[in-house]
Amino acid sequence: DAGITQSPRHKVTETGTPVTLRCHQTENHRYMYWYRQDPGHGLRLIHYSYGVKDTDKGEVSDGYSVSRSKTEDFLLTLESATSSQTSVYFCAIRKEWGRTDTQYFGPGTRLTVL
Partner 1 sequence: GQQVMQIPQYQHVQEGEDFTTYCNSSTTLSNIQWYKQRPGGHPVFLIQLVKSGEVKKQKRLTFQFGEAKKNSSLHITATQTTDVGTYFCAGEDTDKLIFGTGTRLQVFP
Which range, of 11-19, 28-36, 63-71, 75-83, touches partner 1 by CB under 8 A?
28-36
Question: What CA–CA distance (Å, rounded) separates 68 from 43?
Answer: 21
Shortest distance, position 4 Cβ to partner 1, whole Å: 9
CA distances to 87, 100, 103 from 37, rounded to whole Å, are 6, 24, 15
- Given CA atoms 64, 69, 75, 80 in this order, what sign does their dihedral have? negative
Q: Residue 104, interface with partner 1 (CB under 8 A)?
A: yes
Shortest distance, position 61 Cβ to partner 1, whole Å: 12
- Pick from 13, 43, 63, 73 the residue near partner 1 by CB under 8 A: 43
